[in-house]
Amino acid sequence: FPACSCMNSGVCNWNQLSNTYTCTCANYVYGSRCENLNQCFTSTPCNNGATCVPGPDNTFTCQCPNSYSGRFCEQSMLSGGIICDQLVQIIA
């Protein structure tokens, strides 16, 4: 057999018919050799109810709800798409 090159505790599954192997990865890693860390599993980088989507090379993106924007969905948006960086309190 060729040497198994699964990483990050990935389990090697040998296929005798094709003379190849595949890796079964733990939840916190992905990729053909379990080479990428799933940042969405190991931490919670997205805010305000956003969905974390793992990307290539240990990256991620946040899918923000309609009322938020920013890399981590940390910026609140007013109706009309205006971004609020700070909380403003109006006293009547």
Whether 64 and 45 map to the same domain: the answer is: yes
CATH (domain of 10): 2.10.25.10
| Domain assignment present for 83 | no
| Domain assignment present for 90 | no
pLDDT tens digits, 2-34? 788 999 999 999 988 988 899 999 988 989 999
**Total number of domains constituting the chain:** 2
Whether 25 and 51 map to the same domain: the answer is: no
Contact by Cβ (8 Å): 28, 37: yes
pLDDT tens digits, 26-85? 988 989 999 988 888 878 899 999 999 988 888 899 999 999 999 999 999 875 555 555
- Write out the residue range of the structural domain in which residue 14 sits: 1-36
DSSP output for the chain = -PPP---TTPEEEEETTTTEEEEEPPTTEESTTS-EE-HHHH-----TTPEEEE-STT-EEEE--TTEESTTS-EEE-TTS-EESS------
pLDDT at 22: 94
